[in-house]
Structure 1
């Protein structure tokens, strides 16, 4: 709920909330492809592109960057732990240096491919277990921040209200606060663990309602039935969710119905 669009109305000025919509894309590997990237790309404003460690590879990165450039979608790097078997969703212990350098390595690969096509990486969003650990662990968060600083101070897309968001803001780094359309939240503002049975929101209508609430009110309803604050700049729909395409269509419909605009990352960042 951070960006507000100015629109002329019959009384002169109407202010409306607006939000970025992002999706994790390019998450195939080798000859295998997953998700509905070509259908999804026209419904999002930012794409988090797998950089090869949890999924993705040179061909997938090239193809996904090309899709972004053709559809005027912001290019984000989505680095994760080197864990193809676990899709980067398993918590693995790495040193500060290992985390920092694995991020620089992955973002550098995507940046080179984007640059070869006339594009650029606009932000970094950690993937899976790296994302979740950096949200609560200051050592992991600091390694991510040092990597981003070493990459020219790229903005970070991280969980709203998390440890990494707080540390980044304290260091003067640009933060894109993220919420999730298709995930349930605990009362403390963390995501319900995927290992449980209630992590995912499978209903497109429920996902859309959660996005509208975040964008318009800066709140979400937790699995405990409580309303908590969650001010976000961008909302994510997971590309590997079978309901991703239907959810995105319903989200766009619900946002339009509620006079909530959809903007690109560059607009959120004032570019």
Structure 2
């Protein structure tokens, strides 16, 4: 077998249940992940869900990241809110601190930060939002990687601040021609063919390109592949994804093993 020429992380959003309300397939998908982004109790989750999710991931050796979002429980963090940069910095700082504290109390460590939903989309295009997220994340020691799309303002702001940043590719989400994500509130944004998703991901990692929703070919660099665990076709694709990547000569590891601050 040829030696791997690329390394990539496989991750999912997890811990998004709340009280008696269950969301996602956390126990089903955890064994196939190398990293996970867990809700911080603001757009979803609660103390019990947070603890159970951390313990589940630790049991499978999955690296843990915080997934802060807008404080919008009713809208699941998928609606943009009118917040000042300082308010965004404060809520991200608070949410990451909560997860980091519980992760460390339970004997693990926090690896990264990835904004959720509308906050993620806002940071793709808005320098003020992106800078606020970077400012909050940089307060933590040791440094936490920031996960975002390679074409986003958040990636540019992280690089400018000397923060480690992982370039994310979405297994199950369509892209616009400018390299940003199509909102999952739009039906055409969500991909549903598990086999096609795996082929698309391998092409993105090995060839550095992906087709946008209008057919435009976009250049991409991929450090981490994200899927939505509450989407059944993605859960079906997940066991096949690692097999397909490794067959194509791609090593699969947690992003903390290879993502470093810019030189």
Taking only aligned residues, the RMSD between alpha carbons, in angstroms, comes to: 1.6
Structure 2 equivalent of residue 4 of structure 1: none
Structure 2 equivalent of residue 246 of structure 1: 236
Structure 2 equivalent of residue 171 of structure 1: 161
Structure 2 equivalent of residue 84 of structure 1: 73
State whether residues 43 and 73 of structure 2, in contact with CA within 8 Å, keep that contact through their aligned partners in structure 1: yes
State whether residues 11 and 34 of structure 2, in contact with CA within 8 Å, keep that contact through their aligned partners in structure 1: yes
Instruction: For 1:20-99, list aligned pairs within 5 A.
Output: 20-99=9-88
Instruction: For 1:220-239, list aligned pairs within 5 A.
Output: 220-239=210-229
How many residue pairs get aligned? The number is 260
Distance in 2, matches of 1:197 and 1:131, equals 19
Instruction: For 1:1-271, list aligned pairs within 5 A.
Output: 14-152=3-141, 153-269=143-259
Q: More deviation in 147-156 or 94-103?
A: 147-156
Distance in 1, matches of 2:47 and 2:245, equals 35
Distance in 2, matches of 1:160 and 1:179, equals 9
Cα offset, 1:15, TM superposition? 4.4
Cα offset, 1:266, TM superposition? 2.3
Cα offset, 1:250, TM superposition? 2.4
SS of match in other structure, 2:18 = coil
SS of match in other structure, 1:97 = helix
Runs of 4+, deviation exceeding 3 Å? none
* TM-score normalised over the length of structure 1: 0.92
Structure 1 stretches lacking a partner, 5+ long? 1-6
Distance in 2, matches of 1:164 and 1:109, equals 22
State whether residues 9 and 224 of structure 2, in contact with CA within 8 Å, keep that contact through their aligned partners in structure 1: yes
SS of match in other structure, 1:122 = strand
* TM-score normalised over the length of structure 2: 0.94
SS of match in other structure, 2:65 = strand
Distance in 2, matches of 1:193 and 1:41, equals 25
1:160-212 CA-partner distances (Å, limit 9, x unpaired): 12111011101111001111000011111111222333101111112111210
